[in-house]
Amino acid sequence: MNLIMFDMDGTLYRTETSFFPAVHDFADKYGFLQPSDDFLRGFIGKTGEEWKAWVESLHLGKPTDELDQEFDALERHYVNTQGQLYPGVPDVLRTLAANDWHLGICSNAPPWYPELILTNAGVRDLFDLVRVPKRSGETKPMMLCEVWNELRPEQCAMVGDRADDMQAARTGGYFAIGALYGWAPEELGLADIHIHDIVEVPTALTRHWSLGGKDKGTNAPATVASVTRKP
């Protein structure tokens, strides 16, 4: 089987369409200074521990677990009412599925988050698996290795926009596709290939396995569109 795993935030989903307004409402409710978008981007795609530590530092007068539930309700509202995938995502996913790629999600998000986003977008049925941490301390490298051990794919790739996505791919033996359009293009040094748009994923996969499934070095022919190999 052929398997491609996707990160959620900054790869398939435009996080700013729900996370940012939810934080703004949260700040209005509790009367603390609105954080900047640059500050908020530091939480995107990370585990929830950083977020919880920041919420605790605000000293809002309630238990952190209660505040988390309140924030989740706000974020669910915005996911439901204005959450958006990146343009072209549904078509890319359907193209991959039609070409016998099994699709999966590997995300640090809580379980409800990818399920709700994919269901609202009408693409949940295209995914064979959704992996999120089942216990504290479970990382993306651990999840991707677990998936590989379960499925033993002949060809496997991971698409993401942050360093932990690329590290997970490398650790698990996945072809690492770095999404430069996401939240942390500066973190994609470990990527095997870079893309500027999600629509380039099928081309990146075809090119990689047409070259024998390994990096051919800087003398490899240029890819089409704006797909570029890591120097």
Task: Confirm whether pTM is higher than 0.85.
Answer: yes
Torsion sign across C-alpha atoms 69, 70, 74, 75: negative
pLDDT tens digits, one per residue of 146-199 = 999 999 999 999 999 999 999 999 999 999 999 999 999 999 999 999 999 999
Model confidence at 224: pLDDT above 50: no
Picking from 26, 46, 44, the residue whose alpha carbon sits closest to that of residue 35 is 26
Q: Are 85 and 10 in contact (CB under 8 A)?
A: no
Picking from 169, 174, 172, 170, the residue whose alpha carbon sits closest to that of residue 155 is 174
pLDDT band at 211 (very low <50, low <70, confident <90, very high): confident
The pLDDT score that the predictor gives to residue 143 is 96
